């Protein structure tokens, strides 16, 4: 049997019916404006709905259309992105807005293929925008859909395996064909987010449980097979702390690598704490030897430990003087790690 023959005829109708009756009332579900949907999809990448909710309307009030977004400096967009993390998304959104204005006469692309040319827009996001805004029958597969389909169709294989993903895209491509492809795609997202959840799926209220292989086997959480664990690397960062009444001395990170373009305390990296400290001492004047704070942070594949040391004087300016300055941290787009480190030092100083 081909994968497409796995799809029961009534599946599409059941998903649509359930979605329309029970969908969450989310602000981006009240629009078909492709720019607004683009913003919501980018905000929702790796970020929970509850985090995006307070930011979405505020962002659109500040940048109501693609031309306004393109007209401001990148830093203004990053500042408006505060609280959402993963600032690379804000920078890509800004670059994409400039591309739309400069290359497309300010008109958003209308097909998934064309949308994929925008920076930061992959196949999933392009499928979401094209189907919701323009009614194109463009499929989408994300982590939620992987889980839902793997269980529904009883598909074996590690959830990261290219072979499983290929099968899932074929199934999604078939299922999206027909009336209201945008609603159908949102029904898939909603199903994975609210019913077919990673643990304890709500099979009792699932509209398609009668067809579900995993449910029939009595062990829904068996699918999809977990991906093989990768060993996490460790990274040590030494930060330098120097402040005056004007603010804390911050530096902008390079535009490539970790936290591209964000601001932080002067830093150096190493595979051990000693190595990171040595690298920091090579370029700034350290004060006391004992650290004043330590914080930990998890990245997707790395565990980061950052130790903060007081500096005896302000670091030198570089030729690119704009990338270094005294600042009030709350007003600068900081990396999440730098924010944690600054809060830790300030708490120490307040004796908390």
* Cβ 167 vs Cβ 141: under 8 Å: no
Structure tokens at 276: 């990171």
Minimal distance, residue 222 CB to ligand SF4, in Å: 10
300 by Cβ neighbours in 10 Å (0-12 / 13-18 / 19+) ranks as exposed
Phi-psi region of 261 (alpha: psi -120 to 50; beta: other; left: phi over 0): left
Does position 203 interact with ligand SF4 (CB under 6 A)? The reply is: yes
Q: Quote the CA–CA distance of 145 and 37 in Å, as a whole number.
A: 19
Contacts with ligand SF4 by CB under 6 A: the residue count is: 15
Q: Which residue stretch of 97-105, 211-219, 233-241, 333-341 sits at the interface with ligand SF4 (rule: CB under 6 A)? A: 211-219
Helix (H, G, I), strand (E, B) or coil at 70: helix
Does position 12 interact with ligand SF4 (CB under 6 A)? The reply is: no
The residue among 36 and 151 lying less far from ligand SF4, judged by its C-beta, is 151
Does position 195 interact with ligand SF4 (CB under 6 A)? The reply is: yes
Does position 201 interact with ligand SF4 (CB under 6 A)? The reply is: yes
Among 81, 87, 215, 309, binds ligand SF4 (CB under 6 A): 215
Q: Quote the CA–CA distance of 137 and 140 in Å, as a whole number.
A: 10
Is 173 designated active site? no
The total of other beta-carbon atoms located within 10 Å of residue 120's CB is 18
**In the window 32-61, what residues touch ligand SF4 (CB under 6 A)?**
none
Say which of 9, 17, 41, 102 is annotated catalytic: 41
Q: Give the C-alpha distances (Å, rounded to integers) separating 6 from 168, 176, 220, 222, 255.
A: 12, 15, 18, 19, 46
x/- letters, 134..163, toward ligand SF4 (CB under 6 A): --------------x--xx-----------
Minimal distance, residue 188 CB to ligand SF4, in Å: 11
Does position 196 interact with ligand SF4 (CB under 6 A)? The reply is: yes
Bridging pattern class, strands 302-310 and 233-241: parallel
The residue among 81 and 148 lying less far from ligand SF4, judged by its C-beta, is 148
Residue found by looking up tokens 């064909």 in the block: 177
Does position 220 interact with ligand SF4 (CB under 6 A)? The reply is: yes
* Cβ 137 vs Cβ 176: under 8 Å: yes
Residues that bind ligand SF4 (CB under 6 A): 148, 151-152, 195-196, 201-203, 206, 208-209, 212, 214-215, 220
């Amino acid at each position: 049997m081909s994968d497409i023959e796995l799809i029961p005829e009534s599946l599409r109708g059941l998903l649509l019916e359930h979605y329309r009756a029970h969908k969450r009332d989310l602000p981006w579900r009240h629009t078909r404006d492709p720019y607004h949907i683009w913003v919501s999809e980018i905000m929702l990448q790796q970020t929970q709905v509850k985090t995006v909710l307070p930011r979405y309307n505020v962002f659109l009030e500040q940048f109501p259309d693609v031309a306004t977004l393109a007209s401001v400096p990148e830093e203004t967009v990053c500042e408006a992105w505060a609280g959402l993390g993963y600032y690379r998304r804000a920078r890509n959104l800004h670059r994409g807005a400039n591309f739309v204005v400069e290359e497309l006469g300010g008109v958003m692309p209308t097909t998934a293929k064309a949308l994929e040319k925008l920076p930061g827009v992959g196949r999933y996001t392009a499928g979401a925008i094209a189907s919701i805004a323009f009614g194109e029958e463009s499929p989408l597969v994300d982590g939620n859909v992987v889980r839902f389909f793997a269980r529904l169709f009883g598909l074996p294989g590690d959830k990261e395996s290219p072979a499983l993903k290929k099968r899932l895209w074929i199934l999604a491509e078939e299922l999206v064909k027909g009336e209201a492809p945008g609603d159908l795609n949102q029904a898939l997202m909603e199903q994975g987010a609210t019913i077919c959840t990673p643990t304890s799926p709500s099979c009792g209220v699932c509209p398609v449980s009668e067809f579900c292989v995993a449910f029939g086997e009595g062990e829904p959480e068996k699918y999809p097979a977990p991906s093989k664990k990768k060993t996490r690397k460790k990274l040590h960062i030494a930060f330098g702390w120097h402040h005056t009444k004007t603010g804390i001395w911050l530096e902008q990170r390079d535009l490539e690598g970790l936290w591209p373009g964000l601001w932080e305390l002067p830093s150096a990296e190493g595979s051990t704490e000693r190595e990171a400290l040595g690298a920091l001492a090579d370029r700034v004047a350290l004060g006391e030897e004992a650290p004043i704070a330590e914080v930990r942070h998890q990245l997707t594949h790395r565990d980061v430990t950052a130790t903060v040391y007081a500096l005896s004087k302000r670091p030198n300016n570089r030729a690119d003087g704009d990338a270094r300055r005294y600042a009030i941290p709350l007003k600068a787009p900081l990396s999440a790690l730098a924010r944690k480190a600054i809060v830790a030092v300030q708490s120490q100083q307040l004796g908390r």
